[in-house]
Amino acid sequence: MTTRQDLYDRGTDELVARDPVIAHLVEVTGPVRLPTPTESNFAALVRAITYQQLAGSAARAIYGRLVALLSDAVEPESILRFSPEELRAVGLSGAKAASVLDLSAKVHDGTVVVDDEALADLTDEQIVAGLTVVRGIGEWTADIFTMIHLGRIDVLPIGDLGVRKGYGSAWQVPTPTPKELLELGERFRPYRSVLAWYCWRADELYGGTAPSPVTGGV
């Protein structure tokens, strides 16, 4: 059985052969190492919403209180038992409480699918489009979920500042706009997730300050 790590290793080998900048970054920073998912797809999305625009320590504390409120059952039905006010009481902003409730309602009624079997039949673009119907889930959150949690191999989060800055630093060009990065990334298909990973590493290596989702910036 081919694992997602196998896919990333294969993609890395392919891009090393294609591009000397990637080859250098691999030599300096090492192989791609995605974290192994330890929670459900639904819980990962709730966590992603909670972590939006917050420092890691604050986000972890709020998410911990939310999990405690739910008695460790981060499921749509559990969340829907609570009011927006009760969710705000654990530290969620009003907008994030509304987003978590909207996600829960849409998963509960089948508008949004998050189970692995259903997602396996969808393209990356279909997954992102399906998730962004949820209030508060934009393309960045959907891209990061698809790349990091699902382990998809050809996702390029063009809205991520660290990816854009890292590309500029590594290839010694001005930081590209999202549209420019989309065009620049075409030559790295079908392994653009590998490109994104090494752009994050380049941003860290060359003194960037944008946190990557893998190192605590979700």
Question: What's the pLDDT tens digit per position in 180-203?
Answer: 999 999 999 999 999 999 999 999
State what percent of residues in the chain have pLDDT above 90. 87
At residue 204, the pLDDT reads 93
Distance of CA 201 to the CA centre of its chain: 15
Whether the predicted pLDDT of 15 surpasses 80 = yes
Residue 32 burial (CB < 10 Å; 0-12/13-18/19+)?
A: buried
Superfamily name with CATH number, domain 41-149: Hypothetical protein; domain 2 (1.10.340.30)
Domain 4-34+154-215 fold: Endonuclease Iii, domain 2 (1.10.1670)
Nearest CA to 196 out of 208, 180, 179, 213 is that of 213
Calculate the average pLDDT of the chain.
94
**pLDDT-derived band at 24, boundaries 50, 70, 90:** very high
| Predicted pLDDT at 111 | 97
Distance between CA atoms of residues 156 and 145, nearest Å:
12
Judged against a pLDDT cut of 60, whether residue 215 lies above it is answered with: no
In this prediction, residues 24-49 reach a mean pLDDT of: 94
Confidence of residue 213 (pLDDT cuts 50, 70, 90): low
Return d(Cα 190, Cα 23) in angstroms, integer: 17
Cα separation, 32 vs 38, whole angstroms = 18
pLDDT of residue 101 exceeding 60: yes
Please tell me which residue, 109 or 218, carries the higher pLDDT value.
109
pLDDT for residue 92 is more than 80 = yes
**Predicted local confidence at residue 49, as pLDDT:** 96
pLDDT of residue 36: 85
More confident residue, 209 or 91: 91
Domain boundaries, the chain: 4-34+154-215, 41-149
Q: How confident is the model at residue 3 (pLDDT cuts 50, 70, 90)?
A: confident
pLDDT above 50 for 217: no
Global pTM exceeds 0.85: yes
Please determine whether the domains at 4-34+154-215 and 41-149 fall in the same fold group of CATH.
Answer: no
